[in-house]
Amino acid sequence: MTTTETRSAEADSEKFVPRPRTISKAEGWRRRGPLLPAMVFAIVVTQIPFLFTLYYSTQSWNLVRPGSREFNWLNNYVDVFRDSQFREVALNTVIMIVGTVIISVILGLFLALLLDRKFIGRSLIRTLLITPFLITPVAGALIWKTTMFDPVFGLINFVLSPFGVDQIDWVSRYPLPAVMANLIWQWTPFMMLLILAGLQSMPKDISEAARVDGAGPFKLFRELTLPHLRRFIELGAVLGAIYLVNTFDAVYMMTSGGPGVASANLPFYIYQRAFLGFDIGQAAAMGVVTVVATIIVSTLALRLIFKSFSGNEEAA
């Protein structure tokens, strides 16, 4: 603890790192030098397309009707909000993200608790458990759609057949839950890894002391473990949500958003509008709406992540 404090601004800045306010102009540029290529690259590749999206969103522009391109104010946005399919898709997106995050966190917590004990083959089991997160999502979705969920030859129906489940066509009858099952399978390992890192960073002497004081395992979990894990669970949920907003592979491979738009999420619906409907203006407007919605979540996320870097920021 004390070492971290001495390694703060003073100690650093005297010798190797001068205090920011004493930096000369030349030194300032020498410091900025290594940063600039990355900054320029990131701005050009990630920000400029988005400015174009903003611009396109004010255009009536369909690739199928050449020459039809014209400025149409905010009409695309009006259309987007009038589009009942868009509202359904937006709701699907929220259900997909929130449902997947909650279930993955619960399962991940359970698995992390199982792995936070010594047992024979622990590292093997951990390795097996993270595999669903590593596997190419397209491959995972393909496997779930076919060998897992197939009504006749699928493993899920085979496993459930003793319980009276008979040849259910999961993907067409429950498209959204089927996609989510695939996503939960993929994201539970992610939550597990984060929560496990939290469990392993827990000071053991406190729980030892509490146990000696006669606290039962349940009480111990609720009053010590869970509060300690809170930060890790929050971080996992927020990061999971950020990654899940971009879910495309699973929808594309398993259901193509169907039937109708029953299992479509925003990325898939925008993709459909742009690349199957060729409606550039509308697709761009939807993209802008998605971004605005995401910014709300992101702001929360950023605050959390900065908080997680405890101490480092004040010194910098």
- Span 169-228, contacts to other proteins by CB under 8 A: 185, 188-190, 193-194, 196-199, 201-202, 204, 207, 211, 215-217, 220-221, 225
Rule CB under 8 A: which of 118-177 touch other proteins?
Answer: 118-122, 124-140, 142-148, 152-153, 155, 158
CA–CA distance, 30 with 123 (Å, rounded to integer): 45
**CB atoms inside a 10 Å sphere around CB 163:** 7
Q: In angstroms, give the least distance from the CB of 180 to other proteins.
A: 15
To the nearest 10°, the Cα dihedral for 275, 276, 277, 278? 30
CA dihedral 224, 209, 195, 233 (to 10 degrees): 20
**Contact indicator for 93, 266 with CB cutoff of 8 Å:** yes
Give 293's contacts (C-beta < 8 A, 6+ positions apart). Answer: 90
> Residues with Cβ < 8 Å from 81, sequence gap 6 or more?
87
Interface size with other proteins, residues (CB under 8 A): 124
Binding to other proteins by residue 262, rule CB under 8 A? no
Which residues from 30-49 bind other proteins, rule CB under 8 A? 31-35, 37-39, 41-42, 45-47, 49
Least Å distance, CB 40 to other proteins, is: 9
* Minimum distance of other proteins from residue 302's CB (angstroms): 6
Q: Give the nearer residue to other proteins in terms of CB position, either 82 or 117.
A: 117
Contact by Cβ (8 Å): 191, 240: yes
CB-based contact 241:204 (threshold 8 Å)? no
Q: Give 69 or 176: the residue with its C-beta nearer to other proteins.
A: 69
Residue 72 within binding range of other proteins, rule CB under 8 A: no
- Residues between 88 and 107 that touch other proteins (CB under 8 A): none
DSSP state of 8: S
Q: Looking only at residues 263 through 302 of this chain, which bind other proteins when binding is defined by CB under 8 A?
A: 266-267, 270-271, 274-275, 280, 283-284, 287-288, 290-291, 294-295, 297-298, 301-302
Q: Please state, in angstroms and rounded to a whole number, the distance separating the CA atoms of residues 257 and 92.
A: 10
Considering beta carbons, is residue 63 or 102 the nearer one to other proteins? 63
